[in-house]
Structure 1
Amino acid sequence: MSLHRRPLRVPALSVLASVLALAGCTPGDSVARVDPPPTPPADVAGFCAALHKELPETVAGLARAEAAPESDLTAAWGGSAIVLRCGIPKPPEMADEKLGGVEVDGVRWLLKPVPDSAGGGFRFITGMRLAYTEVRVDKEHATDAGMLVGLSGVVARTVPEGISSY
């Protein structure tokens, strides 16, 4: 995907409606196994630590879960329904012109379906930020980009715009 093209804009009202529709989901409180990415450079790790401190307690109506092992590079909500990893190396998908993207609250996200053989759902990856952040959403909660509303504002505040060299 070329992030230099005009991104698809998701109207805030339709995204909000999606979030409210998901708000009835039962929050999970289990521990989520989340493998942290390889140790990123210090500047990227600093952006991820800032992001981690500001992450919301709920996303799409799902409560924050304990991520194991504990790391400033990872977070989870609803058990492992929504999993975040910050500081991932530049994904090869960034070069794929065929993949689509959305822009939510000023943050561009690349969308990639997760194959059913790997559990289904979606993988969202930030673009045009100095640290790549990946959000995996399970099949049940991957109805649209609504879950990104609670995360995009925090990413916009803590991870500066730019092109990461990592």
Structure 2
Amino acid sequence: MTSHRPFGLPVAAALLLAVAGCSSTGPTVSVPVPRPPAAEAAFCRALHEELPRSLSGFDRNDAEPESDLTAAWGDGAIVLRCGVPRPEKMTDPQADAVEVNGVNWMLEVRDSGAPRFTSTYRKAYIEVTLDERFMHDSGPLIGLAEPVLETVPESL
């Protein structure tokens, strides 16, 4: 994987703009629950306990079905799934990646133009899907970095 920094604004400035500009509590978000092996699930449960109550100005909502492997903020603006399978795209040496506060993420741009990030070099893969409001803003990854670093060890 190559390391690209595709975001023009400094991540910290983008986060401040996002926090100042939006807050939402919305309906419950439906999120497919991953089925990782037991060891990965244990890391994900630990991560779930450390996730922030708000992220980039959005309050955390319970995802449906309720699971320690998923979390959502706002009306689905930010969705996290822990223990997802390794994405095929990770084998592509041209895949875009970004490092945010010590956590490496592979970037995929969905058909809508909105980003999906998957952690790399961790003992459990963590997928963070952002909606169109974050097309050029990786700010939510700042708020997730510390919990990821504390709970999901690096893999070699």
TM over 0.5: yes
SS, match of residue 88 in structure 1: coil
> Which residue in the other structure is 2:52 paired with?
56
- Structure 1 residue runs of 4 or more that deviate by more than 3 Å after TM superposition: 7-10
1:108 is aligned, of 84, 100, 104, to: 104
2:145 is aligned, of 133, 149, 152, to: 152
Residues 124 and 135 of structure 1 are in contact (CA less than 8 Å); yes or no, is this contact kept in structure 2? yes
Matches within 5 A, 1:115-154: 115-116=111-112, 120-154=113-147
**Cα distance in structure 2, aligned partners of 1:155 and 1:143:** 22
1:130-161 deviation digits (Å, cap 9, x = unpaired):
00000000012232211100001110110000
> Are 1:35 and 2:32 matched, yes or no?
yes
Residues 15 and 145 of structure 1 are in contact (CA less than 8 Å); yes or no, is this contact kept in structure 2? yes
Task: Please give the TM-score of this superposition, normalised by the length of structure 2.
Answer: 0.92
> Are 1:161 and 2:154 matched, yes or no?
yes
> Are 1:21 and 2:25 matched, yes or no?
no
1:82 is aligned, of 56, 78, 87, to: 78
**Cα distance in structure 1, aligned partners of 2:4 and 2:43:** 26
1:49-89 deviation digits (Å, cap 9, x = unpaired):
00000000111111101100000110000121100000001
Q: What count of residue pairs does the alignment treat as equivalent?
A: 154
SS, match of residue 36 in structure 2: coil
**Cα distance in structure 2, aligned partners of 1:77 and 1:96:** 30
* Amino acid of the structure 2 residue aligned with 1:122: P
Instruction: State the Cα RMSD in Å.
Output: 1.8
Unaligned runs of 5+ in 1: none
Residues 109 and 116 of structure 2 are in contact (CA less than 8 Å); yes or no, is this contact kept in structure 1? yes
Task: Please give the TM-score of this superposition, normalised by the length of structure 1.
Answer: 0.86
> Are 1:73 and 2:72 matched, yes or no?
no
Identical amino acids, percent of aligned pairs: 46
